[in-house]
Structure 1
């Protein structure tokens, strides 16, 4: 077993090259724009073209951070997703190949709604502890779709967050303090035979907040800590207003100056999510990345509390400690360019794109990737096999 600190050494992001404005969507749906921008806390929604799926997005995110040394030392690849492309083959096997990782690696896919990104992170930390000197690649990649004109439509999104896990990390140490809980509920689920998920929106939000309250209380009891022991908190944020409600739960009873400080931090945490939407398994880590990129009040040694939630349900609270010069490990320019270089779609263009799905009848198909300049794309389907292209 390794006695070294283990955690996140690199973190990368991929977003599709298209988005819609939430004000435009609200007007088209006959809603007050404030319902989406203030009530949900969302401003833009990432829209994936047919040339991107969870595998290609994950591989694109990984390419942002991997170098040749990483490729030689990675021996675990984890894809966390709830929008997988195959009922048997793990998407991580494709990613392992597309990113050029050495052959003697374990590749798996994990599922538990939006929680499995955290499960993948914890698995990777345990793996590194048992295999000193190795590295692990964990990618949370998802496409959130509820259907046009549905109640969940304004909480859609798409994207992937990739993390390199190793000893002596240069961004954040993952502390061995996690507390999890499970409860068998039906707040959000996706039967194999349905195109879109079944959702009990208000009930799901209530369950999210109740699980948070209970797992946070248990965490405090086990580790004898209070809100004062944390500089900032990050949350799973399917829409950023829910994370704000979660923060209120966590800081209940705290001094007013501490509450004001935590609220200030949270505003930085949600900036990227406000402009990307819900990316399911990657949502928590998009919030973490947003803090790293945008929050000028964080510094080395700060303790970050993290709450992960996946409907159905599993919740977990854990903490991370920022290390010296963590911002230097992040490609700020690449992340900013993802947002700056996106093409805005009209609502009609978005709806046309939404209904343009890859065939499910086994027929051969070539995607239209003319507007997608991503390094890795889905070029089509042949003989029931997705054709990925590295450019």
Structure 2
């Protein structure tokens, strides 16, 4: 059987960050509520000239600079922060990257699960034609109402993932476990710029979906829990991975501990919730911070509220041993915001029927230039 999986992965984020200690001090909250209770230290905040397109294009540019364009005939853009009801955000990226016309582009949506849906679609495309590779971009900005319980779990980030045969990083194994249920735990209506969350229901729905997906994986020939060396979970906040690990250990009757979760939380503690990119930021973090994983098996749980989930596994390949944590320098380079500056950016909404030029802030390769004639405009810096 042809080996298919993640050949390479690259992350990107925004120009700004908000330190949760600063937010706690301003709002009179004990910082431990965020740092220990949620497992979060800070979150990324987009500048006025950044969005899911600029982040996704930046991550993809670095990925393609390393790997080239040969065989790339599909770009799948996964997001729940869509910019248009009709046009895929990936079409903007297609132009920014200078991709040839012979590339299909589509957008995939199902809350935070969308990135995994795109990867599984990519695996199917490659299986049909092993000469092709698929560029998957998962890019999101998590926004919640000010002073709401969800506010400290905001964030922003993108993952660009190249799927192909004979992958250099992770071979995705054929068996996976699925679980879907209609649950009103989290959603964002079309006329709202912020999400609606039922926090308690969201936790229980996540955990029920995780055990349901695990049982389905086991029923379809997946590996035993003792054959998985490292578990990585979707992390709306990193403490959620610890809850999931404890539940899975209880469900399988195996003491899984939680020490192995630390490498997969390093980036997410600083990015905040990147929705569709969250799981894959965790995967990248594991690969970037552990050097003894070659030949070992990852278990990966993807959850998208509403809800759709999948448990999949993959075997780490030799090129993972040469990865570095260069993304840490990207996180370190972000510019901190004061709480008033953050709130001003949070309140900024652009009506589509008014022409506007955005200020030049980002130092990333691409920027959102503004609106003209109700159409979004982008520039390569």
- TM-score when normalising by structure 1: 0.94
In the alignment, the residues of structure 2 paired with residue 217 and residue 381 of structure 1 have an alpha-carbon distance, to the nearest angstrom, of 48
Question: C-alpha root-mean-square deviation of aligned residues, in Å?
Answer: 1.5
Q: In structure 2, the residue corresponding to 1:13 is in which secondary structure? A: strand
> Which residue of structure 1 lines up, in the alignment, with residue 289 of structure 2?
294
> Which residue of structure 1 lines up, in the alignment, with residue 62 of structure 2?
64
> Which residue of structure 1 lines up, in the alignment, with residue 359 of structure 2?
368
Picking from 335, 341, 348, the partner of 1:349 is: 341
1:10-61 CA deviation, whole Å, 9 max, x = no partner?
A: 1001010110111111122221111111110000111111111111111011
Q: 1:139 to 1:211 in 2, by over 3 A?
A: same
Q: CA shift at 1:69, angstroms?
A: 6.3
> Which residue of structure 1 lines up, in the alignment, with residue 299 of structure 2?
305
> Which residue of structure 2 lines up, in the alignment, with residue 32 of structure 1?
30
In the alignment, the residues of structure 1 paired with residue 344 and residue 213 of structure 2 have an alpha-carbon distance, to the nearest angstrom, of 42
Q: In structure 1, the residue corresponding to 2:137 is in which secondary structure? A: strand
1:320-352 CA deviation, whole Å, 9 max, x = no partner?
A: 110113232x4643x122112111111111112
> Which residue of structure 2 lines up, in the alignment, with residue 317 of structure 1?
311
Q: CA shift at 1:224, angstroms?
A: 5.9
1:1-391 equivalences in 2 (<5 Å): 3-67=1-65, 70-223=68-221, 225-252=223-250, 256=255, 259-260=256-257, 263-296=258-291, 298-328=292-322, 330=323, 332-333=325-326, 335-357=327-349, 359-369=350-360, 371-391=361-381
For structure 2, which runs of at least 5 residues remain unmatched after alignment?
none
In the alignment, the residues of structure 2 paired with residue 137 and residue 49 of structure 1 have an alpha-carbon distance, to the nearest angstrom, of 26
Answer yes or no: is the 8 Å Cα contact 2:19–2:41 preserved in 1: yes
In the alignment, the residues of structure 2 paired with residue 239 and residue 84 of structure 1 have an alpha-carbon distance, to the nearest angstrom, of 22
Q: CA shift at 1:89, angstroms?
A: 0.5
For structure 1, which runs of at least 5 residues remain unmatched after alignment?
none
1:213-266 CA deviation, whole Å, 9 max, x = no partner?
A: 12112222332632210000010000000111101122235555xx34xx2221
In the alignment, the residues of structure 1 paired with residue 48 and residue 329 of structure 2 have an alpha-carbon distance, to the nearest angstrom, of 21
Q: In structure 1, the residue corresponding to 2:69 is in which secondary structure? A: helix
Q: 1:68 to 1:299 in 2, by over 3 A?
A: closer
Q: CA shift at 1:267, angstroms?
A: 0.7
* Pairs aligned (count): 380
Q: In structure 1, the residue corresponding to 2:175 is in which secondary structure? A: coil
Answer yes or no: is the 8 Å Cα contact 1:365–1:380 preserved in 2: yes
Answer yes or no: is the 8 Å Cα contact 2:176–2:220 preserved in 1: no
